[in-house]
Structure 1
Amino acid sequence: MFLIGSVLGAGGALLLVTGWLLGDPGTPRGDALKTGGLAGGAVLAVYALWINDRRRRTEEARHEVERTRAQQDRERTENEQFAKAVELLGHGADQVRVGALHALAGLARTRPAYTQTVLDVLCAYLRRPFTHPGYDLRPDNPDEAEPEPDTAWPAERIAEADREQQVRLTAQRLIATLLPGSADEQAPRYDLDLTAAHLEYLDLTGCRLGRLTARRARLHGVNRFGGVRIQGPALFSGATFHGRTELSGARFDGGLSVLKAEIKGAWRISGAQVRLFADLRTAVPEEQLGALTLIGDVELKVDDDSGWATRSGP
C-alpha cells in the first residue's frame, strides 16, 4: 500500500514540478522535465530509505530474539549441568564424584555468577561427616600414617576411606583455584563455610576471600594460609589444629577469632596482620613463630596468662 502511495506521490511530484516550471516561459522544456524527474526520484529515494531502515530494524529485532533464545537455552543447559553434577556428588563411585566436582568448577569458571554457589556446594561436601584411620594414628601428618586392618577398620573400610579422602582433597584444591588472588582489588568477595569440616593439607596461600567460617573444624597435617587476605571475619572458634599452620603474611581485615580453639602444632605468624578484632582466648600454640601484628584500633581479647605474642602496627 505504501509502495503504491510512493509511486503515485513520485508521479504527482513529477507532474507538479514539471507543470510549474513549464508555466515559466524562460524555463526550457528539457530542464523542466529533468527537474520534475529529480523531484519524483527524490520521493522514491525517500521510500527506498524507509524500506532499508525498516528492514534493518526487522533484522535487529530478529537477531535480538535469537540472542535471547540462545541465552535462555545456554542458561537452561547450564542449570541442568549444575543439577546433574550436584546429583552425582552422591554417586557411589569415587571417580564419578571427582568428575562431578570438576564439572562444577568448570561451570564456575565459565559463568562467574555460579562461583559462590559452587563454592557453597564444595564446602557443603567437605562438611559431610568423615573420618580416616590416619587421623587417629597421625593427626598432625596423616600422609605418614600406615593403618593396619583391625575390627574397627577392616581393609575394605580403609580402602573406602582412602578413596573418599582423595575426593575431599580434590574439593579442597578446586576451592583454592576458584578464589581470586589476594592482590586483585577488584575481585568479588567469596565466602567459605567450613564449619565442623575435617580438612587436611588445606592450601589457600595467596587467596582472597570474604568471610571464612571454620568453627569446630579439624585441620590435619600442614595447612597453609600464607599471604591470604580475608576481608570478612575469620572464625576458627572451637577448631582443632593438629599439625603446622602457615599464616605468614596473612591479612585478617575483618578480624580473627580462635576462641576455645586447640592449637597443637606450630603456628607461623610472622607478618600476619589483624584488624577490627582479635579473640585469642585460648592456649598459646605449642610453637609460635613470630608475632601477630594488630593494625589500628583492634578489640583484643586474650587471657592474661596465655602467652600470645602480639605487637601494634602502624
Structure 2
Amino acid sequence: MDGFWWYIILEGQAGREEVLASLADLSGSIGSEERTDGTRVRLRAYYRSSQDLGYWLERLSEALTPWEDVRIADMGKIENRRWHTDWKEAFPPLPVGKGLVVLAPWHRGTEPEGRIPLYIYPGSAFGTGYHESTQIVLALLEEAVRPGATAADIGTGSGILAIAAMKLGARHVHARDVDPAVLSEVRHNLGLNDLTEEAVDLWEGNLLDGFEGPVDILTANIVIDPLLAMLPFVGAALAPGGRAIFSGLLAREREVFLSALAENGLSAVDERTAGDWWGVS
C-alpha cells in the first residue's frame, strides 16, 4: 500500500469545473476534490506515489495544452491516512449508453438489471469509464460491434474498450499501448471480467506501427495529434465494411477532424458529444 499520495491543484475560472475534472481524469488521477471561491475554482487531484511527481506533471501538462486559462497552482504530497479507503467512494456504478454499466470491483453484485457490467479497477492508466471521452466510445461501440467481430483498441489504457468490445460480442481484440506499464493493469482488468489474453492479446506499440489487420472495429480514445498521425493508416487496418471509432477530441476540434477524415478517404457515420468532448465513428 502506498504510504502517501501526490496531489496537484488546478485553478481556473468559475464554470470550468467540468474541464478541471476531465483534466484530472485524463492525466491519471485516482480521485479529486473541488472548491469554488468567488470567480475562481480549484481542483485538487490525487495521484499514486508509484510514479514520481514529475511523471504526473508531464501527463497533466500534455492534457493542459488546449486550456490556456487553466493553470497548476500548487503540488505536493499527502500522507495516506483514510484516503486509501475514502477514494473508493469516488467510483460509484456508472450506467453508460443503452446497456452498459462501469463498476469498480468492490461494487460487484450491485449491477443494474439488464446492463452488461464492465469491471474496471481505477488505477493509473487512463480509461476508468468516468471520463466523457470514454463514455462516448462505449456508446458508439454498442452500435458498431456485431457478434463474431474482430477489433483493435489503440492506446488501450485500462483496457476498458477492449473489454467492452468482447462483452458486446466480439470474438477477438488486439489491445496495444505505447506505455508498457499499463499492460499489467489491463491484465488485471481482464481477469476481473473473466477474459483471457487468448481473447484479448496485449501488445506494446505506437499507434498502428507494425499492426497487421484487418479488423472489423478499431477504437482510439487518445488526443487529436496522434489521431491525425494515425489516420493515413486506418483504411488498411479495417476489413471491408469495418468501422473506426475516434474520441479524446474536444468539441471545438470537430471540423478539423472531419476534414482530416475526408482527406484520408474516411467518412463519419455517427458522432456523439458529452460536455466539452466529441467522438465519431
Same fold by TM-score greater than 0.5: no
Greater relative contact order, per chain length (Cα 8 Å cut-off, separation 6+): 2
Please say which structure displays the higher CA radius of gyration: 1
The structure with the greater share of residues assigned to strand is: 2
